[in-house]
Amino acid sequence: MENGTKDRPVGLVMDSNLTLVIYLFALIGLGVPTVLLSTRLSAEAVRHLVQKTRTSTILVPARLDGTAGEALSSWDTNDSPPPSKYYPAAYRNFLTEEASSSTAFSQNNVSRKPFCLPEVGTIFTGPSITQLLRSSGAKSLLTVPSILEEIALLPDNEEIHALQQLHFIAFGGRLPKETIGDKLTAAGEHLPE
Chain segment 126-169, per-residue pLDDT in tens: 888 888 888 877 777 878 888 888 988 888 776 788 888 887 78
Q: What pTM was estimated for this model as a whole?
A: 0.47
CATH code, residues 10-111 = 3.40.50
117: pLDDT confidence band, cut at 50, 70 and 90? low
Show the CA angle centred on residue 163, arms to residues 158 and 164, nearest 5°: 90
DSSP line for 15-34: -SSHHHHHHHHHHHHTT--E
Give residue 32's pLDDT: 86
Q: Spell out the domain ranges in the chain.
A: 10-111, 126-186
78: pLDDT confidence band, cut at 50, 70 and 90? confident
Rounded Cα distance between 113 and 58, Å, is: 23
Give residue 115's pLDDT: 60
